[in-house]
Amino acid sequence: MSPSRATRTHLAQLLAVAFHQDALTRWMIPDDRRRAELLPGFFRVFVDLSASYDAVLAGPDGDAVLLYLPPQARPDEAALDAAFAEALGPYAPALRTIGALQAERHPAGPPHYTVSFGGVRAGRRQGGLMTGLLGEVLAVADRDGVGTYAEASSPGGEATTRRAGFTRLGADIVLPGGGPTLRPMWRDPR
């Protein structure tokens, strides 16, 4: 069941707060104030995209969220680019750079689930909420007999995926200008 408009707004804000100090979003929007202003709209695009595939998982109190896409997802790239351009304004080219580098490394096959973003409200981290949400996605992937792909942008994200059985998939994605890295991760079905 797709989350309500109010729930989507809440989940986008949760992700914005969770990723405010993430190296990837800092690279994309260096100014702290502008990042705080723009990230809720940026994450709203991702929440809406995942919701269109019924692929949004939230913790019982709305304190955690995990966005993913199923193997059959075929997003309208032009519409997404327009939505991100509207959400990010002059920072949209930085996102396009990230997206191009990700596209080069994203596995072309076999079919797989893609975990895009997960966040937990401060004060509830380290309590297993993200592990539980990720476990729900992996249970579906296992049932379907397909793998799962993710890109970790932080040590915490990498640790969560490793605990769930993911392993490193090739070299890191390195952003230009001495920017941060994304670590491609893969988990075969079990």
**What pLDDT was estimated at residue 1?**
57
CA atoms of 182 and 176, how far apart (whole Å): 12
Is the preceding peptide bond at 110 cis, omega within 30 degrees of 0? yes
Largest Cα span, the chain: 44
Positions of the chain with pLDDT lower than 70, given as ranges: 1, 123-128
**What pLDDT was estimated at residue 102?**
95
> What's the number of domains the chain is made of?
1
Structural domain for 12, as ranges: 5-187
CA atoms of 39 and 13, how far apart (whole Å): 8
**What pLDDT was estimated at residue 3?**
80
CA atoms of 161 and 173, how far apart (whole Å): 17
**What pLDDT was estimated at residue 58?**
93
- Which CATH number do you get for residue 101? 3.40.630.30
**What pLDDT was estimated at residue 123?**
67
**What pLDDT was estimated at residue 178?**
87
**What pLDDT was estimated at residue 127?**
62
Query: Could you tell me if 151 and 75 are in contact, meaning their C-beta atoms sit under 8 angstroms apart?
Result: no
**What pLDDT was estimated at residue 126?**
64
**What pLDDT was estimated at residue 156?**
84
